[in-house]
Structure 1
């Protein structure tokens, strides 16, 4: 398994996340792939020159919900720059684009500016990307985390995601090893191995993520339990910090998250509680508590889709990256905090996941209301009633992200307690 996050990502994320939050007005960065992944201002200033140096006539547009202050969006932005630099194409990035008509406007502006392909990074962007795809049939539109490409049947609209549940499972293994160490050292008992988790919304994507993390931890410490609280926002540093603090005060001895700020890691560092973050390393800011982080590496998909446009080939309606495609990665372990033997446990688990020897959602490893499942109809073809339409359990496991790229695991399994909900 490849475990890497570029130094630029770590440094930029820590600097941005600890700084002021971005504004609500849309900001635009225009650059070409030959520009170094440096400051936005420098890239914009070199626009005229680098466009001339581009190796292709293809121009790529990117739409981000927030900006570099959000670990989630920073992960996309760095991947966008890396892919375009490698392929030698010009690009334009629009940040702080809300999940509303502003997204359509941004997509239309990118299409009018000559972009052959446009990517958007947030779930709520989807309907507006579809609107743009219908309006500009000559432009390809790709949307991360969306659910409707396989039912819309538009030749120029596509969804993409990755098997991040495998990355979260591995991060859970690292958490489990830490719990195991804490038990062995007498710091907690087996029945005190309670994890806290700060989530954004009670969506399938978040449920899939915290469940896979929990199952990874339980593969090491079977007695582990988990409490989950939700903020109702993808990025709210205050709410995330308060959520983590509440969990710590309620007896959670390790914290993880599916939210995009430094709120939870900061709360953990202040309280001296081990933390597993998301979308990049927080070791520089939290050296005494940070263990590891999982993230989706979007560069392989960006390269894949952009190459398809350059070559005139078809882009899949749904694309799911995996450990094998280097789309699911872990940061390096913080060896000052991680338990001994963690790297070996991660390497072994990753090897088994890649070979199919183990599956994250093995139905023999969890129960729902005390029962093991052998059948479940998931809402894959999204509708307003969220009715199940696709059988997703076969061969002894829940087949996540196989029938569409975005997660649809929404089961409430035993051992996880939701303290609240947020839709």
Structure 2
């Protein structure tokens, strides 16, 4: 049974209750703002399993039938960032831009950890191959606002951004990029159909591994993990088709190399030697600044353990090289 267009309000609770009363044994909700309503329903229907995507409260809820799940989308964002960085290098080599003009723009939905983690991993991927890259971020304060995303992308381009990416759910940004002739990297779906000459690729999620796991656990009578997050190794994330009409030469070989390293675990997206915050490493900030002590639970062995302590993204550091134009 499926319910669509369920808002992040009391309608979510009503939908969850209705599904439970119809005899559903397991219920999935897929929007961040659904969590409190799923928790409410889970408390009232202890025999039903409630699984919430992108949330963070399951571990502290004290309810055995509420679960959070996400994917390591930061991995595919990193890979898509590498694709973007190679495109910037091509533009530099062609004399289209100078190295210090390698500025990307990012259309973000909200200043939440999920979005910050995503744009940071994208930036770090680009920086790994194009060390002079910088990035500006502007928020729409909506998950899906086609006109708003188009306007923000257009504004970023006018501000000198030569490549655009997004954490927003419409084709507004790539449409603007196609109009302006600016390369872009999408999210969720392949954007080549709307930006055939400028779309490079998109960072994508494959939810099938989790749904298969959760339902099989229910059928087999085994416990569903309170927090679940997997990435390339389990085919839970990927990038969409690389656009031969837009990508830089050598991109496919480099992508294969990076994806293999992620699957093998030899590449860590949030390697702490690759970024600073206010000119300082995160390890030094944890030691010297009480405001950063909370990150000690996530930083070990030289990297930030994103979505390992909890499934929801926790990396919300504002690193050097990225500027938020709006809050």
Q: Name the TM-score class by shorter chain.
A: over 0.9
Distance 2:2 2:311 in 1: 24
In the TM superposition, what whole-angstrom CA distance separates every residue of 1:106-165 from its partner, at most 9, and x where no partner exists? 000111111110000011100000000011111100000000111113111000001110
Within 5 Å, which residues of 2 pair with 1:246-285? 246-285=155-194
- 8 Å CA contact 1:375, 1:393 repeated in 2: no
Correspondence 1:417 to 2:287: no
Alignment match of 1:397 (pick from 303, 307, 314): 303
Q: Cα RMSD over matched residues?
A: 1.5
Distance 1:391 1:137 in 2: 31
1:203 alignment counterpart: 112
- 8 Å CA contact 1:228, 1:419 repeated in 2: yes
Distance 2:306 2:110 in 1: 19
Match of 2:126, SS state, is helix
Within 5 Å, which residues of 2 pair with 1:255-334? 255-334=164-243
Alignment match of 1:339 (pick from 218, 227, 248): 248
- 8 Å CA contact 2:72, 2:231 repeated in 1: yes
Match of 2:190, SS state, is coil
Q: TM-score by structure 2 length?
A: 0.96
Distance 1:363 1:394 in 2: 9
Shift of 1:357: 1.8
Match of 1:155, SS state, is coil
Q: Unpaired runs of 5+ in structure 1?
A: 1-91, 378-385
Distance 1:126 1:376 in 2: 32
1:373 alignment counterpart: 282
- 8 Å CA contact 2:233, 2:264 repeated in 1: no
- 8 Å CA contact 1:235, 1:261 repeated in 2: yes
Q: TM-score by structure 1 length?
A: 0.75
Distance 1:301 1:128 in 2: 21
Number of equivalenced pairs: 323
Match of 1:158, SS state, is strand
1:225 alignment counterpart: 134
Alignment match of 1:184 (pick from 90, 93, 98): 93
